[in-house]
């Protein structure tokens, strides 16, 4: 909410592709619907191509531009650095920003390796001691239905959790003719479906259940090992040409897991589930109730209350648009659903609120590190004949 007397929070955003556009929208929109203690100011957008970054800044609403991310960190009008670059650059940028006393919001996954993530968590802990805050961008937590799911578990409505099943299903490279992209190269992307989308369901299931994964048994698969190099580019890789390149990441990751509270988990992340575009499906079964969610119907949470009499018990299709639902009161009347980008706006709200209250926001870099360790254990298990592999605890 723009107001003359309100202190501002100068934001510098690094990266302006898909995630950059989503974050820009969130920074612009959050103060229009939520009563924030700090007014975000879209100070500067950074990118290497001068013409492109200037165009993007105008389109996305940023006051200035930089072509070197180091300049962003040096600017006095920047209080917070928002990192939306590919994963191989997260560690360097985020650590430099934290050391320079800037709050940091870093896209997920936190890093491309456990070692990088450890360094980042370390830097975040030191910065927090000086009042500098950091957060990793697992935005799906901010979908109201997910928030409600966590609440129900926390209130004991599910009892003891026994089963967690989670799938993140996409199909954008199901066609072998879909061309190469940086997301299919291990040195840039770290991993394939595992880190890109599998990380989300690891985070979501831990967030909802309040339990941490303790170990996994996994398989990884690359169905299409060679793809055409892109002849032209598009949002997700454009059209392929005659030359080919080698896919060095997983196309799909499947794993079993055990949670700290005893629940059994099954996980599947794939870009080869033809017909599923962005289906994040999560089910939790407890001794007292059950939950089911599918991002393809994101404003709905299904809840089975085991205390209902058998004759009138059934999964309740809760349309999560009531004023009492998480985040919803700031938006529209009941029944008027939210969309994908609202999660980013809610993320800004939670981050700004934590900074204003001088509290550490969640998920922290330590949380991001823990998820990195899960991904690492998945890779190690897959390499070790699927043997159960424990996840290092902090």
Site for a copy of itself in 23-52 (CB under 8 A): 24-25, 28-29, 31-33
Site for a copy of itself in 351-390 (CB under 8 A): 385-388
With contacts defined by CB under 8 A, name the span among 1-9, 73-81, 97-105, 202-210 that binds a copy of itself. 1-9
With contacts defined by CB under 8 A, name the span among 82-90, 203-211, 249-257, 351-359 that binds a copy of itself. 249-257
Minimum distance, C-beta of residue 204 to a copy of itself, in the bound complex (Å): 16
Contact pick of 111, 117, 152, 374 for a copy of itself (by CB under 8 A)? 152
Per the document, the length of the chain is 394
Site for a copy of itself in 179-238 (CB under 8 A): 217-219, 221, 223, 235-236
Question: Coil, strand, or helix at residue 91?
Answer: helix
11 backbone dihedrals φ, ψ, rounded to 5°: -115, 135
- 285 contributes a contact to a copy of itself by CB under 8 A: yes
C-beta atoms surrounding 233 within 10 Å: 11
Contact pick of 113, 222, 278, 353 for a copy of itself (by CB under 8 A)? 278
Minimum distance, C-beta of residue 363 to a copy of itself, in the bound complex (Å): 21
C-beta atoms surrounding 269 within 10 Å: 31
- 317 contributes a contact to a copy of itself by CB under 8 A: yes
The order of strands in the sheet holding 252-259 is: 300-305, 289-294, 279-286, 161-169, 264-270, 252-259, 213-221, 389-390
- 7 contributes a contact to a copy of itself by CB under 8 A: no
Half-sphere exposure (Cβ direction) of 181: Cα atoms closer than 13 Å: 20
Q: Which is nearer to a copy of itself, 32 or 48 (CB)?
A: 32
Q: Which is nearer to a copy of itself, 32 or 70 (CB)?
A: 32
With contacts defined by CB under 8 A, name the span among 123-131, 198-206, 318-326, 351-359 that binds a copy of itself. 318-326
Tokens for 224, please give them.
């299409």
Which whole-number Å values give the CA distances from 299 to 221, 334, 339, 356, in the listed order?
32, 11, 8, 29
Contact pick of 52, 239, 262, 383 for a copy of itself (by CB under 8 A)? 262
Sign of CA dihedral 377, 387, 207, 84: positive
- Give the residue from 66, 74, 19 showing the smallest Cα distance to 45: 66
- 316 contributes a contact to a copy of itself by CB under 8 A: yes
Contact pick of 51, 242, 311, 358 for a copy of itself (by CB under 8 A)? 311
Q: Which is nearer to a copy of itself, 311 or 358 (CB)?
A: 311
Q: Beta strand pairing status for 252-259 and 213-221?
A: antiparallel
Sign of CA dihedral 317, 323, 324, 325: positive
d(CA 62, CA 58): 6
Q: Beta strand pairing status for 161-169 and 213-221?
A: unpaired
- Give the residue from 258, 114, 271 showing the smallest Cα distance to 192: 271
- 286 contributes a contact to a copy of itself by CB under 8 A: yes
Contact pick of 272, 293, 327, 365 for a copy of itself (by CB under 8 A)? 272
Binding-site size for a copy of itself (CB under 8 A) equals: 105
Contact pick of 167, 181, 205, 364 for a copy of itself (by CB under 8 A)? 167
Contact pick of 303, 327, 368, 369 for a copy of itself (by CB under 8 A)? 303
Contact pick of 103, 227, 258, 373 for a copy of itself (by CB under 8 A)? 258
């Amino acid at each position: 909410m723009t107001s003359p007397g309100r202190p501002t929070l100068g934001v510098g955003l690094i990266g302006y592709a898909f995630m950059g556009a989503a974050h820009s929208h969130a920074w612009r929109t959050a103060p229009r619907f939520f009563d924030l203690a700090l007014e975000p100011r879209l100070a500067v957008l950074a990118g290497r191509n001068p013409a492109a970054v200037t165009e993007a800044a105008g389109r996305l609403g940023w006051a200035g531009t930089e072509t070197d991310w180091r300049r962003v960190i040096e600017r006095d009008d920047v209080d917070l650095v928002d990192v939306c670059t590919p994963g191989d650059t997260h560690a360097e940028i985020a650590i430099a920003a934290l050391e320079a006393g800037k709050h940091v919001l870093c896209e997920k996954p936190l890093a491309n390796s456990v070692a990088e993530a450890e360094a980042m968590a370390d830097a975040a802990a030191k910065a927090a001691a000086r009042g500098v805050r950091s957060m990793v961008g697992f935005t799906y937590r901010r979908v109201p239905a997910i928030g409600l799911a966590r609440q129900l578990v926390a209130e004991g409505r599910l009892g003891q959790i026994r089963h967690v099943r989670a799938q993140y299903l996409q199909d954008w490279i199901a066609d072998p003719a879909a061309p190469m992209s940086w997301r299919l190269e291990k040195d840039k992307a770290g991993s394939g479906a595992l880190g890109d989308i599998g990380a989300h369901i690891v985070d979501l299931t831990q967030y909802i259940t309040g339990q941490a994964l303790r170990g996994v048994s996994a398989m990884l698969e690359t169905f299409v090992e060679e793809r055409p190099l892109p002849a032209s580019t598009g949002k997700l890789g454009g059209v392929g040409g005659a030359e080919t390149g080698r896919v060095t990441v997983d196309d799909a990751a499947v794993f079993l897991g055990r949670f700290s509270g005893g629940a059994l988990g099954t996980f599947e992340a794939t870009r080869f589930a033809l017909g599923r575009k962005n289906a994040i499906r999560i089910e939790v079964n407890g001794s007292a109730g059950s939950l089911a969610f599918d991002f393809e119907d994101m404003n709905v949470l299904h809840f089975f209350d085991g205390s209902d009499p058998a004759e009138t018990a059934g999964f309740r299709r809760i349309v999560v648009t009531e004023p009492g639902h998480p985040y919803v009161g700031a938006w529209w009347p009941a029944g008027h659903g939210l969309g994908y980008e609202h999660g980013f706006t809610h993320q800004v709200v939670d981050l700004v609120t934590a900074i204003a209250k001088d509290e550490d926001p969640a998920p922290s870099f330590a949380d991001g590190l823990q998820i990195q360790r899960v991904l690492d254990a998945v890779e190690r298990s897959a390499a070790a004949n699927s043997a159960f592999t424990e996840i290092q605890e902090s």
